[in-house]
Structure 1
Amino acid sequence: MTSRERGNDPLPPEIVRSLRCSVCGDPVGLIERTVRCERGHSFDVAKQGYVNLLHARIPAGTADTAPMVAARVDLLSSGAYLPLADELAKVASEHVHDGLIVDAGAGTGYYLAHALDAVPGAYGLALDVSAVALRRAARAHPRAGAAVWNLWEPWPVADSCTSLILNVFAPRNAPQFHRVLAADGLLVVATPNPGHLRELGDLVISVDESKDARLEETLGERFSRVERREVTREMTLSAAQIRQVVEMGPSAHHLHRDGRRERLDAITGSVDVTTSFSVTLYRPVP
């Protein structure tokens, strides 16, 4: 087993202690491969190592699909977004020595695994609504566990239990961020900048120029911004990587419009593009 592969072992006990029953809110324990609270509510750990704590259906189109996850795995494996992963790992190593890192909207666990590599004393909890993605996240690192959950709902996670929350291109539930983060903890939000992948035109969803204002509006009452870092690189993407970057995100749902699928299929060579992200650090307001 490598440092990035946990197989189908049960959830690490440090992760189980951070979880709460999604039905009643009580603490849970792990009995063989079942997460259970004292009131008898139980959730089986899947053979891939994640636990599904949902007890209600999610709206269609909310979770990443298997093709979207496959495209993301291929793109991230190529190193295209490694500069962002390295920056997030650097932030984690600068601010966290141990404890729990929660990745809210973790997807395949790529960024969480890098953060855990940078902080040998920490454990990681991957939360995401896509069970398909969490099959990967559950195996992303031996000190990680994964739970399926809708981030817009109250999280099945203990109060003040985490030292660091990562939120990478994912829904931002400010009340839950604040509730589960320790008083001296850190929230790290990664967002694409308006110039991100601009060379691909409408094959990718453009970034709203007012995103910074919307981010502050979402978090401002409960968090204080302490730092912002920019991660911008020029790189060459192959035709296969361009297809992956389009098909791994929300843009995949719009390829049937305005001839986008045909234009994507027509790309056969490499394209020079700009990748540009903001990494913003926040402290909770008491």
Structure 2
Amino acid sequence: MRCDRVHSFDVAKQGYVNLLHARIPAGTADTAPMVAARVDLLSSGVYLPLADALAKVASEHIEDGMVIDAGAGTGYYLAHVLDAVPAAYGLALDVSAVALRRAARAHPRAGAAVWNLWEPWPVADSSASLILNVFAPRNAPQFHRVLTEDGLLVVATPNPGHLRELGDLVISVDGSKDARLEDTLGERFTRVDRHEVTQQVALEPDRIRQVVEMGPSAHHLHRDGRRERLDAITGSVDVTTSFSVTLYRPVS
């Protein structure tokens, strides 16, 4: 790939392109073990209700155009959305090249680019029909810039009760997260709808380890005996998964 200033970027053999021009601080991008844990956990169907909810929203609100998954990880949720909207195509953006090796192959109508979401995106103005943002950084100015006037922003966040049975093995959800979400998006977006996706599921020890090791909690397992307590789990645990799916329209 080549830009207007004649910078060139090779497409990796796995199908993604790395557009980053600077190194990312340690602990920012998903590591190979985190991605492996996420792939195993998502393939088990534990978070399928959330994927189905996102796909349903997309099918009800768009018919075609580009879907950007901002913080796409392995492309799991983007693939479900594209399956639900056959005339759409997708772009996975994430800072982790390891994750995008998976995202680039997640769906035949999706491309993938390594990018820091806090930087101005390598995406044209008013080019996206829908932006997905699932447990990822929220860059409101870029969301607003790349969405069409009638585009839709769909934000998925964990609720305060999410994974509560696992205690401090996972990072707890801040009770003021919803207010902070509105503060972040309020000037540029209007909230138009919201859905909750909550279930209780029995997780075997291997699945519990995947839940913990696939997210930011993985960076903290060396503290306060967390790794030892995680490894000591030998039986099934009933765990709550709880998410909010919030829909926004851009303000003109």
TM-score of the two chains, using structure 2 as the length reference: 0.99
Alignment of 1:44-55 (within 5 A): 44-55=10-21
User: Which residue, out of 48, 66, 88, partners 1:100?
Assistant: 66
SS of the aligned residue for 2:9 comes to: strand
Residue identity in the other structure for 2:103: A
1:129 and 2:92 matched: no
Q: Distance in 1 between matches of 2:197 and 2:181?
A: 18
Alignment of 1:174-253 (within 5 A): 174-253=140-219
Residue identity in the other structure for 2:133: N
Q: Which residue of 1 aligns with 2:35?
A: 69
Q: Distance in 1 between matches of 2:63 and 2:182?
A: 28
Overall identity of the aligned pairs, in %? 88
CA deviations 1:89-135 (Å, max 9, x no partner) are 00010011000000000000000000000000000000000000000
Q: Distance in 2 between matches of 1:222 and 1:108?
A: 28
Residue identity in the other structure for 1:92: A
SS of the aligned residue for 1:103 comes to: strand
Q: 1:238 to 1:173 in 2, by over 3 A?
A: same
Q: Distance in 2 between matches of 1:38 and 1:101?
A: 24
SS of the aligned residue for 1:43 comes to: coil
Q: Distance in 1 between matches of 2:6 and 2:148?
A: 29
Q: Distance in 1 between matches of 2:147 and 2:93?
A: 14
Q: Distance in 2 between matches of 1:58 and 1:155?
A: 16
Residue identity in the other structure for 2:164: R
Residue identity in the other structure for 1:193: N
CA deviations 1:218-248 (Å, max 9, x no partner) are 0000000000100000110110000000000
TM-score of the two chains, using structure 1 as the length reference: 0.88
Query: Where does structure 1 lack aligned partners over 5 or more consecutive residues?
Result: 1-34
Q: Distance in 2 between matches of 1:126 and 1:112?
A: 8
Residue identity in the other structure for 2:166: L
Query: Where does structure 2 lack aligned partners over 5 or more consecutive residues?
Result: none
